[in-house]
Amino acid sequence: GQNIDQPTEMTATEGAIVQINCTYQTSGFNGLFWYQQHAGEAPTFLSYNVLDGLEEKGRFSSFLSRSKGYSYLLLKELQMKDSASYLCAVSRSGTASKLTFGTGTRLQVTL
Amino acid sequence: ETGVTQTPRHLVMGMTNKKSLKCEQHLGHNAMYWYKQSAKKPLELMFVYSLEERVENNSVPSRFSPECPNSSHLFLHLHTLQPEDSALYLCASSQDREQPQHFGDGTRLSIL
């Protein structure tokens, strides 16, 4: 089976940096997605990591370690609009259409 | 802004009703998906269509019936639903099954 773990909730201050972790256990791992979902809205794609390492995209960066079954999403210079749920999702080789999602991390950015 | 449009946004129905959810994508994608999102639970994949052919059915009860008449449209027909089926139903599409999925805003379904 598959198991994806991420913290349920996090709180951080505007302007700060926050790291949201995701650990997974799965066979045939292919890649890992991060999505952002504001309340009442569609999830939106943030990043996709296949290889080990850090990928930076503006204020958001995503890291993957395949050997450790670990990823994190790093958000810098936090803004109030970053308050949302962040979903970690794993895809498996040969079944790339089938994403398995974690329960999501609800991030609250405060003043 | 989303290239995936779902209607209706909200739906309240009784357990004996029959209704359909509609999804339309304007992105020229070849794969479309239905997901169920319940409170405090992970997104659950229900169905996958690739080039209008159903390629995956994730052990979904038969009271949910998908239909994909063409690569731009996807329907989810509902009948004799149960209260536990109340959830947010999300549609997504992707260029192919290897690419990131783009989601619609969902239909909030409440079963009385």
One-character DSSP codes across B50-101? ETTEEEEE-S--TTEEEEEEETTEEEEEEES--GGG-EEEEEEEESSTTSPP
Residue with tokens 């089976």: A1
| CA–CA separation, A25 and A29 (whole Å) | 9
pLDDT value at position A93? Answer: 72
Enter the DSSP assignment of B85.
G
| CA–CA separation, A52 and A44 (whole Å) | 23
Side-chain-side CA neighbours of residue B61 (13 Å): 9
Q: What is the mean pLDDT of residues A43-52?
A: 94
Question: What tokens were used for B7?
Answer: 């209607």
What three-state secondary structure class fits A87?
strand
Give A67-76 pLDDT, tens digit per residue: 999 999 999 9
Chain B nearest-CA residue for A88 = B42
Residue with tokens 């974690």: A102
Residue partners of B57: CB distance under 8 A and separation at least 6: B46, B47
Q: How far is CA B97 from the centre of its chain?
A: 16
Residue with tokens 């609009």: A81
Is there a contact between A42 and B106 if contact means CB atoms under 8 Å apart?
A: yes
Contacts of B103 in chain A (CB under 8 A): 35, 42-44
Is there a contact between B42 and A103 if contact means CB atoms under 8 Å apart?
A: yes
pLDDT value at position B59? Answer: 82
As a whole number of Å, the CA-based R_g of chain B is 13
Q: How far is CA B92 from the centre of its chain?
A: 8
Give B58-98 pLDDT, tens digit per residue: 789 999 999 999 989 999 999 999 999 999 999 999 987 77
